[in-house]
Amino acid sequence: MILFDAHNHLQNAALAPHLPGVVADLERIGLARAVVNGTREADWDRITTLAQAHAWVLPSYGLHPWHIQERTPHWRERLTGLIENGHAAIGEIGLDRWIEGFDLQDQTEVFAWQLDLAARHNLPVSIHCLKAWGALWEILRAQPVPECGFLLHSYGGPVEMIEGFVRLGAFFSFSGHFLNERKTARREIFRQLPAERLLVETDAPDMPLPPEHTQYHLPETPQGLTLNHPANLRAVYEGLAELRGEPLETLTGQIAKNFQRLFG
């Protein structure tokens, strides 16, 4: 089986103590590529190191809306330098009106600048959006997006907006989190999404799968948090194949094509 993780955070410090075992497990399940997303300047170097160590890592650099206050005055030059260095993507970037004390104006400026950088270099971009779908739509409609397309990761937006996003070049990634019993509406959306726009993600070490779907476990953090092992990717594929009533081989073939189209 050849599997593609459209969105994870392998650089996350919580995974560091487990990394050798995690990498071995990923290679065992047949991981072909994983987009490893930065969230702030402080984690960009770790992503570069991972990409140098593992050919299957596609490095992705960006400022996540939760971390824009941490940015330095030089973030734009640093980001530009990183993407000009070699094959890379941009992300995780986005808009978030769910976190406490959000500043949508500031988020919009940082997001729009990064989207523009991606469009100018035609780089795939991974977008996070929580409770800001109208604002996201306005930006995507008003300014150029990368010709290769963009990813709405762990798509949680309304069903009515899908057609418009598809016209603009969107891909949508299914998260293992949607296998939770109560996520019925999300599953229905992903059951109907056009096959040629589907991708699969773990968001690991975030967004654990429900226990009955979890195939790989990691010890809890000292703070008592459950970590999502990136090798649960296979379980996410299996969950999506079952949901869409497709043989796993059909789905993996389609996802491989879609991943190639967006991420090259």
Instruction: For the CB of residue 228, give the shortest distance to Zn ion in the complex, in Å.
Output: 11
Span 209-238, contacts to Zn ion by CB under 5 A? none
- Could you identify the residue written with the tokens 């739509």? 137
Instruction: For the CB of residue 149, give the shortest distance to Zn ion in the complex, in Å.
Output: 18
Kindly tell me which of 66 and 190 has the beta carbon lying closer to Zn ion.
66
Kindly tell me which of 14 and 248 has the beta carbon lying closer to Zn ion.
14
Kindly tell me which of 209 and 244 has the beta carbon lying closer to Zn ion.
209
Do the beta carbons of residue 119 and residue 144 sit within 8 Å? yes
Instruction: For the CB of residue 154, give the shortest distance to Zn ion in the complex, in Å.
Output: 7
Kindly tell me which of 69 and 250 has the beta carbon lying closer to Zn ion.
69
Kindly tell me which of 25 and 92 has the beta carbon lying closer to Zn ion.
92
Instruction: For the CB of residue 12, give the shortest distance to Zn ion in the complex, in Å.
Output: 9
Using the contact rule CB under 5 A, the part of the chain among 160-168, 199-207, 209-217, 238-246 near Zn ion is: 199-207
Span 106-165, contacts to Zn ion by CB under 5 A? none
Instruction: For the CB of residue 9, give the shortest distance to Zn ion in the complex, in Å.
Output: 6
Instruction: For the CB of residue 37, give the shortest distance to Zn ion in the complex, in Å.
Output: 6
The DSSP annotation for the chain comes to --EEEEEE-TT-GGGGGGHHHHHHHHHHHTEEEEEEE--SHHHHHHHHHHHHH-TTEEEEE---GGGGGG--TTHHHHHHHHHHSSS-EEEEEEEESSSTT--HHHHHHHHHHHHHHHHHHT--EEEEEES-HHHHHHHHHHS---TT-EEETT--S-GGGHHHHHHHTEEEEEEGGGGSTT-HHHHHHHHHS-GGGEEEE--TTSSPPPGGG--S--PPPTT-PPPPPGGGHHHHHHHHHHHHT--HHHHHHHHHHHHHHHH-
Kindly tell me which of 152 and 244 has the beta carbon lying closer to Zn ion.
152
Q: Is 203 in the site for Zn ion (CB under 5 A)?
A: yes
Query: In the stretch 72-101, what mask flags binding to Zn ion with x, by CB under 5 A?
Result: --------------------x---------
Using the contact rule CB under 5 A, the part of the chain among 22-30, 51-59, 198-206, 240-248 near Zn ion is: 198-206
CA angle 206, 155, 15 (to 5 degrees): 15
Instruction: For the CB of residue 253, give the shortest distance to Zn ion in the complex, in Å.
Output: 26
Closest residue to Zn ion in the complex (CB): 203
Residues interacting with Zn ion, by CB under 5 A?
92, 203
